[in-house]
Structure 1
Amino acid sequence: MKVAIFTDTYAPQINGVAKTLKKWTDFLETKQISYRLFAPNPLETCDYNENIHRFKSLPFWLYPECRLALPRLSHIRTELEQFKPDIIHVATPFNMGWTGHHYARKLNIPLVASYHTHFHKYLDFYKMSCLTPLIWKYMRWFHKPFKRIFVPSMETRDELLKKGLTNVRLWSRGVDSDHFHPWPHSTYLRDTFGVTEPFILTYVGRLAPEKGLDILMKTAAALPSEWQPYIHWMIVGEGPLYQTLQQEAPSNMTFTGYKGGIDLSRIYSESALLVFPSATETFGNVVLEALASGTPAVVADSGGVKEIVQHGKTGWACTPDDPSSFVSAVTHLLQNPLLLKAMSEKARAYALTRSWDAVFYGLLQEYQTILEEVPMLSHA
């Protein structure tokens, strides 16, 4: 099987889509499955190789992690004609995604999509809700020729079906439980940031309005005064709200910027809870990473995250956009250490069932089913 992937975000960019696609291409290489990936070039230092083709790009104003590429169409067509992919996978609906969409139809190559981000929900946070009908009109047109639309959660599947999209299938997410795991004796936060409080509450993700960070800040301020001396907040990530939040932050809140690798794994592990108030997620990779680290998650009972967290077992599902619900959950869990310990063990056990290999083998099987449905085409 030969796979061509078109995306408007890819490593070294830092977001859930880029990380998922990097995991996917790593898997393809490990299994010696041929692929070509076409993506923007966010940095001048990005490597070029036979498998990955990058193009000059500009940041997308609404979501800078996605880039508006300036694809060289003749180069892409030549590469596709030489590579002869069996299937084209489009991961985003912008310039690179549209290019894959165009050439799949032009060259009679079966076409699939993966849907990762509720962009229409972001519009509410940027006072642009009036554009929502246009977004869905475009999405229905864009996705019409796809043999499958892969989504990370049943919530996302249901929403797309309600909006008139078809051929929607679940393609969930996994976690590397060898990398994200409990570190019983880690002192990373004490050694690096001087954190000495016994209870670490952590947020990991983009610092942007759609992530519900206003709810997080209100939660931090509203926790009972008798708990405040024993709690420290770690805010891990970067984004447009970084400076504003830092200026408003209480003294027991530390901003780390982006963290990855072992540093991120240790931050999760040393945390008592992940607090993740976003109500706009199609999945929530960071929640699964926290669970793998043995850290229960306090989340909004909305979107894809509510399918990861088992309320009262691996975390706590709160009323979306309600700081009092988050305050109640955090205080309840911190004052019940035996419950917190049991949830930590169950969180780790659950994450061990969510391997990336199983997720990717499932996607390959979907590809194979599509190819069996489609007669041999002229490009082959």
Structure 2
Amino acid sequence: MKIAIFTDTFHPDINGVARTLKQFTNYLDTQNISYKVFAPDSYGNEYVSNNITRFKSFSFFLYPECRLAFPSFFKIKAELQDFSPDIIHVATPFNIGLCGIYLAKKLNIPLVGSYHTDFDYYLKFYNLQFLSRILWKYMHWFHRPFKKIFVPSNETLLQLNRQGFANLKIWSRGVDCQLFHPFYDTKTVREQYGLSKKYLLTYVGRLAPEKDVNTLLAVAKTLPAEINEQIEWLIIGDGPQREELQNGAPLNMSFTGYLTGEQLAKVYAASDLFIFPSPTETFGNVVLEALASGTPAITVNSGGVKSIISVGVTGYLCEPGNVQEFVHSILQLLENDSLRKQMGLEGRNYALSQTWDHIFSNLLWHYTDVIEERKIQKYA
């Protein structure tokens, strides 16, 4: 099998789409499966591979980590014809994705796609709700040619079903439990960030309106003083709200910027709780990484994270924006060490069952199904 992937974000971009696709291409390497990625240039272009063709680009205003490229159509067509893929997978609904759709039709190549980002929910946080109808019309038109549309969670599948989408299949997310685990030396993390208080609470993600990080600040300021004195926060990530958040943050909250790899994994492992108020996730990779690290998660009862958290077993779910629910859940776990530790163990056990190999092999089965269906139609 030869696979062509069209995406408007790829490694080393830091977002769920880019990281998932990088995990996928890593898997394809281990299976000796040929692939070619068409993607925008990235920040500094430090990641180079013979399997990737990149194009000049600029940031998309609703999601700066996802880039709008200026692809050379004739270059893509020539490379695609030379590569001769069995299937095209379009991962994003922007310029490069549009090229993938057009060329799949032009060259008669089986086409699938994936839906990763709830842009309609994003509109609410940028006061652009009036664009919702236009957005959904575009999404319908864009996804109509796909033989299968892969979505990361059952919640997203139900949402798209309600919007009238068809050919939906679950393509869940896994986690690297060899990288993310609870067995790091947490003392070095505490020394690195000057942490001296009893509890460490962590957030990982973009610092942007759609992640509802303002709720995070409200929670930190609402916790009772006697508990707050024992807490330190690490806010890991970057984005358009960082300066605003830093200016309004309490003294026990530190901002690290983006962390990746082992550096990020060590912080998860050193944390007592992972707090994630974002209501717009189609999955929530960072929540699964926290669980793999043995850290219970307190998240929102919204989006894809609902399918990750088992309430009272691996963490708690709170209504979006409900500061008091978050405060109550945090207090419940900080005041009960044995429950918190048990949840950490359960989270780790759950993460161990979410292997990338199983998820990607299932995706390849779907690819094969689409390819075989095209062959039958061709010779019927």
Alpha-carbon distance, 1:47 to partner = 4.7
Query: Structure 1, unaligned stretches of length 5 or more?
Result: none
Corresponding position of 1:83: 83
SS in 1 for 2:38: strand
Corresponding position of 2:270: 270
* Stretch of structure 1 that moved more, 43-52 or 234-243: 43-52
Corresponding position of 1:162: 162
- 1:189–1:47 distance in 2 versus 1, CA, 3 Å: closer
* Stretch of structure 1 that moved more, 89-98 or 315-324: 315-324
Corresponding position of 2:316: 316
Alpha-carbon distance, 1:45 to partner = 3.5
Corresponding position of 1:143: 143
Name the TM-score, length of structure 1 as normaliser. 0.97
| 1:179-234 C-alpha deviation (Å, 9 max, x unpaired) | 00003642133211111111111000010011011111110000011101100011
Given that 1:175 and 1:354 are in contact with CA atoms closer than 8 Å, whether structure 2 keeps it comes out as yes
Corresponding position of 2:57: 57
Question: Letter of the aligned partner of 1:139 in structure 2?
Answer: M
Are 1:201 and 2:239 matched, yes or no? no
Within 5 Å, which residues of 2 pair with 1:1-380?
A: 1-183=1-183, 185-375=185-375
- 1:134–1:336 distance in 2 versus 1, CA, 3 Å: same
Question: Letter of the aligned partner of 1:263 in structure 2?
Answer: Q
SS in 1 for 2:63: coil
Q: Counterparts of 1:354 and 1:47 in 2: how far apart (Å)?
A: 27
| 1:336-357 C-alpha deviation (Å, 9 max, x unpaired) | 1111111011011110000111
Given that 1:16 and 1:285 are in contact with CA atoms closer than 8 Å, whether structure 2 keeps it comes out as yes
Given that 1:210 and 1:280 are in contact with CA atoms closer than 8 Å, whether structure 2 keeps it comes out as yes
SS in 2 for 1:54: strand
SS in 1 for 2:229: helix
Q: Counterparts of 2:304 and 2:47 in 1: how far apart (Å)?
A: 33
Alpha-carbon distance, 1:377 to partner = 8.3
Alpha-carbon distance, 1:147 to partner = 0.3
Give the aligned length: 378
Query: Structure 2, unaligned stretches of length 5 or more?
Result: none
SS in 1 for 2:200: strand
Question: Letter of the aligned partner of 2:329 in structure 1?
Answer: A
Given that 1:108 and 1:377 are in contact with CA atoms closer than 8 Å, whether structure 2 keeps it comes out as no
Given that 2:204 and 2:276 are in contact with CA atoms closer than 8 Å, whether structure 1 keeps it comes out as yes
Q: Counterparts of 2:123 and 2:188 in 1: how far apart (Å)?
A: 38
SS in 1 for 2:169: strand
Question: Letter of the aligned partner of 1:372 in structure 2?
Answer: E
Q: Counterparts of 1:50 and 1:211 in 2: how far apart (Å)?
A: 35
SS in 2 for 1:179: coil
Given that 2:149 and 2:167 are in contact with CA atoms closer than 8 Å, whether structure 1 keeps it comes out as yes
Alpha-carbon distance, 1:58 to partner = 1.0
SS in 1 for 2:53: strand
Given that 1:115 and 1:150 are in contact with CA atoms closer than 8 Å, whether structure 2 keeps it comes out as yes
Name the TM-score, length of structure 2 as normaliser. 0.97
Q: Counterparts of 1:60 and 1:175 in 2: how far apart (Å)?
A: 27
Q: Counterparts of 2:188 and 2:349 in 1: how far apart (Å)?
A: 24
Question: Letter of the aligned partner of 2:331 in structure 1?
Answer: T
- 1:46–1:263 distance in 2 versus 1, CA, 3 Å: closer
Q: Counterparts of 2:176 and 2:346 in 1: how far apart (Å)?
A: 17
Alpha-carbon distance, 1:131 to partner = 0.2
Identity %: 52
Q: Counterparts of 1:366 and 1:80 in 2: how far apart (Å)?
A: 21
Given that 1:28 and 1:35 are in contact with CA atoms closer than 8 Å, whether structure 2 keeps it comes out as yes
Q: Counterparts of 2:157 and 2:261 in 1: how far apart (Å)?
A: 31
Alpha-carbon distance, 1:139 to partner = 0.5
CA RMSD of superposed structures (Å): 1.2
| 1:92-146 C-alpha deviation (Å, 9 max, x unpaired) | 0000000001100111111000100001111111110000100000011111110
Given that 1:5 and 1:37 are in contact with CA atoms closer than 8 Å, whether structure 2 keeps it comes out as yes
Question: Letter of the aligned partner of 1:175 in structure 2?
Answer: V
Given that 2:4 and 2:37 are in contact with CA atoms closer than 8 Å, whether structure 1 keeps it comes out as yes
| 1:310-347 C-alpha deviation (Å, 9 max, x unpaired) | 00000111122100000000001110111111101101
Alpha-carbon distance, 1:298 to partner = 0.2
Question: Letter of the aligned partner of 1:144 in structure 2?
Answer: R
Q: Counterparts of 1:188 and 1:370 in 2: how far apart (Å)?
A: 49
Question: Letter of the aligned partner of 2:367 in structure 1?
Answer: Y
Q: Counterparts of 1:45 and 1:33 in 2: how far apart (Å)?
A: 24
Given that 1:48 and 1:54 are in contact with CA atoms closer than 8 Å, whether structure 2 keeps it comes out as no
